[in-house]
Amino acid sequence: MLEVSGLTTKYGAISALRDASLSVGAGEVVGLIGPNGAGKTTLLGSIAGLLEPSSGKVTFEGVDVTKASPEALLRSGMALVPEHRRIFVDMTVEENLKIGGITRSGAERSESLKEMAELFPVLRDKWDTAAGFLSGGEAQQLAIARALMSKPKLLMMDEPSLGLAPILVDLVFDLIDQLRADGRTILVVEQNATRMLQAADRAYVLRSGEFVAEGTGTELLERSDLFDTFVGG
């Protein structure tokens, strides 16, 4: 579904990401792990059109989308839950969800709103609350629900467990399991490597802007040489 080949993205003269290649097949949950500053967010930003790669290629369902804008990529079926959630704090929960479904018809949007209220009971209880008043866990659920409102073929999440209490981290990974059971295709960037490897079908390990390992979750969990990467060394 998603093919990334030889992607390099620079901030000025510094390459935050070098020659990155990965693929995500339909129905797969793929993890992207690595310590802080490894280039994970840069990679997602480059795929989603927020950053312009200096070389390399991104294809989505066989179409070259390397230079596409974020709004065009969303329309082609890709949604990103951005780092730090970035929900619209001045808007209500409902409005946040509505803007997530802005590309769809009114009827489709209403239907998805109902689905989200069922999938996320916490949000249903705070439907008319300004999103700025939500707790971290609620805000993360809102960010994920908002991305699901566009009915994406590929859901990308950037550090969904960042800054959450352990019980809420469980909730995020339960949600990933649930979405996988629904047959969704997901690419998740995580610092919480162990949890991610348990949840993912396959994973890539990124360090200092380069991929250093790739494999199924269980394979990577057994690689003791990568331990320092997992714990952020």
Partner 1 sequence: MTELLQNLIDGLGRGSIYALLALGIAVIFGVMHLLNFAHGELITISGYAAYAMFQADFSWYVVAPAIVLVSIAASLVIEWVAFSRVRGASDFTLLLTSFGIHFLVSSVFILYVSASKKQFPRPGWVTNTFAVGDLSIEVFDAVVIGVTLVTLLATVALLQRTMFGLALRGAAEDFDTARLMGVKSNSVIRGAFALSGFLAGIAGIFWLMRAGNTAPSAGISPMLSGVIAALIGGMGSMRGAVLGGFVLGLAEVMLRSRLPDGIAPLTDGVVFLMIALLFIFRPQGLITVARAERV
Residues that bind partner 1 (CB under 8 A): 48-50, 69-71, 74-75, 79-80, 82, 84, 86, 88-91, 95, 98-100, 102-103, 132, 134-136, 139, 146, 150, 163
Q: How far is the CB of 105 from partner 1 (least distance, A)?
A: 11
CB-wise, 69 or 178, nearer to partner 1?
Answer: 69
Residue 190 C-beta: closest distance to partner 1, Å: 17
Q: Determine the angle formed by the axes of helices 136-148 and 166-181, rounding to 10 degrees.
A: 20
Residue among 100 and 209 whose Cβ is closer to partner 1:
100
Do the beta carbons of residue 44 and residue 158 sit within 8 Å?
A: yes
Nearer to partner 1, 92 or 194 (CB): 92
Cα-based distances in Å from 14 to 9, 142, 144: 9, 34, 31
E strands, the chain, in order = 2-11, 14-24, 29-33, 55-60, 63-64, 78-81, 154-158, 185-190, 202-207, 210-216
Residue 144 Cβ vs partner 1, minimum distance, rounded to whole Å = 13
If the CB atoms of residues 18 and 104 are measured against partner 1, the closer one turns out to be 104
d(CA 170, CA 223): 24
Task: Provide, rounded to whole angstroms, the least separation between the CB of residue 68 and partner 1.
Answer: 11
Nearer to partner 1, 7 or 47 (CB): 47
The 8-class DSSP code of residue 61 comes to: T
Sign of CA dihedral 196, 201, 206, 212: positive
Q: How far is the CB of 201 from partner 1 (least distance, A)?
A: 25
Sign of CA dihedral 84, 90, 95, 99: negative
